[in-house]
Amino acid sequence: MKKQVSWTEKNLKILSWVLSIAIPLAVAALFEVEIEGVDLSFLPPIYAGINGATVVVLVLAVFQIRKGNRESHEWLMKFAISLSVLFLLMYIANHATSGETRYGDLNHDGVMTTSEIMEAGVLRMVYLTLLISHIALSIIVIPLVLNTYLLARFNKFDKHRKLAKITFPVWLFVAVSGVIVYFMIAPFYH
């Protein structure tokens, strides 16, 4: 007879921290993987749309909890998490098959010449600043989302509310900036 595994709060917290470390490391490692012969270059507008949908779902979830509708809030938050996971899978698949796109690479050769950098001008610096903050906060948001979710799951709503006040704006920024980054880099896709 098999012993049933009980997912206690402690086990789930450990799992959330393992995932919080493993996901960014896996994404970084997968950037070194290049799958030839598969064209998933159609994915960026789809996952940008998923980021946009995440923004809408997050805002709706906040409105629902402010109205006292905990059940709708919970459903919307689970949906937002699912959208974020779907985004991540598509993002990884695209980057593993399509290579890197550089902002300002007008001839799409993967090399930024001095003239291309000059032509991109200050917008390239705006793009890079936004991209770096997007990436950094996308790493930070993983444990925030997981731990905020776990606090609600274990009915620790006072702690959940406090952490959610930090998690929400970070997650919202990551989702909004993901859409902006897409629109800024889209002209340079090849």
The residue extents of the domains of the chain are 40-188
Contact 130, 180 (CB under 8 A): yes
**Phi/psi of residue 112, nearest 5 degrees:** -90, 110
Q: How is residue 85 written in tokens? A: 């996971």
Domain covering 40-188 in this structure, CATH number: 1.20.120.80
Contact 57, 76 (CB under 8 A): yes
Task: Record the pTM.
Answer: 0.88
Q: List pLDDT tens digits, range 121-155.
A: 999 999 999 999 999 999 999 999 999 999 999 99
Length of the chain: 190
Collect all residues with Cβ–Cβ distance below 8 Å to 119 and sequence separation of at least 6.
104, 106
Q: Give the model's pLDDT for residue 156.
A: 92
Residue 4 has pLDDT above 70, yes or no: no
